[in-house]
Amino acid sequence: MELMEVIRKRRSIRRYKPDPISEEDINYVLEAARLAPSWANTQCWHFIVVTDEDIKREIAQAGMPWSAGAPVIIVACADPAKPGAKGDIPNYLVDIGIVMEHLILAATERGLATCWVGGFNEAPVKEALGVPENIRVVAMTPIAYPDQEPAARSRKALGEIVSYNRYQSP
Ligand SMILES: Cc1cc2nc3c(=O)[nH]c(=O)nc-3n(C[C@H](O)[C@H](O)[C@H](O)COP(=O)(O)O)c2cc1C
């Protein structure tokens, strides 16, 4: 699939088939993540591939109850101290944004459903996964075969989000 086709095809999908995901597919999406760029190449991330039913249920309850039926949940953790901050921009959040999109687009290419989840209660997720205190859990996504085909969600037109040479409101 061409890159633009993958980008156009991706959706946040929140209903899944219970069919298992092959180890090859899991490794494919993780490899796409591994190759992502990061602040000074610090690669502040760590991924937890959750397949255990009890642990999946626990982390699903922390903010994505609809996800428990997915065969795999990937949890993206980060060490905020590694890239540090330039000015007041926490670079670990930027790095996790990039790495998650690599992973999600690779999953889309393989016909797998994902949904970026950032709205969850971090404490119980850390507890369920044994994440050390200094490490943040930034994002999660189920990885599953889709059981729905949502239409594309609307996006602003380029004219509303782009200006040349100087900032200009639409
Ligand atoms: C940083 C970030 C956090 C998100 N957090 C959640 C979330 O907590 N729960 C959820 O259901 N969707 C979450 N989403 C998915 C967005 O709601 C979704 O991307 C947006 O509505 C556009 O839909 P689309 O992804 O299908 O194009 C998140 C997306 C991003 C990029």
**pLDDT tens by residue, 63-120:** 999 997 899 999 999 999 998 777 888 999 999 999 999 999 999 999 999 999 999 9
- The answer on pLDDT for 1 being more than 90 is no
Site to substitute for ligand 1 among 11, 12, 13, 149, most atoms within 8 A of C-beta: 12
139 inside domain: yes
**pLDDT tens by residue, 136-151:** 999 999 999 999 999 9
Question: What's the rounded Cα separation, in Å, for the pair 140 and 142?
Answer: 7
168 inside domain: no
Q: Is 65 in the pocket of ligand 1 (CB under 6 A)?
A: no
Measured by CA distance, the residue closest to atom 8 of ligand 1 is: 119
Print the SS3 string covering 120-133: CCHHHHHHHHCCCC
Task: Specify the CATH number for the domain of residue 132.
Answer: 3.40.109.10
**Average pLDDT value for residue range 18-43:** 97
Question: What's the rounded Cα separation, in Å, for the pair 140 and 125?
Answer: 10
Domain that holds residue 155: 3-161
Q: pTM of the entire structure?
A: 0.97
Measured by CA distance, the residue closest to atom 2 of ligand 1 is: 118
Q: Is 11 in the pocket of ligand 1 (CB under 6 A)?
A: yes
**Average pLDDT value for residue range 8-20:** 97
pLDDT at 91: 94
* Radius of gyration from C-alpha coordinates of the chain: 17
Question: What's the rounded Cα separation, in Å, for the pair 38 and 100?
Answer: 12
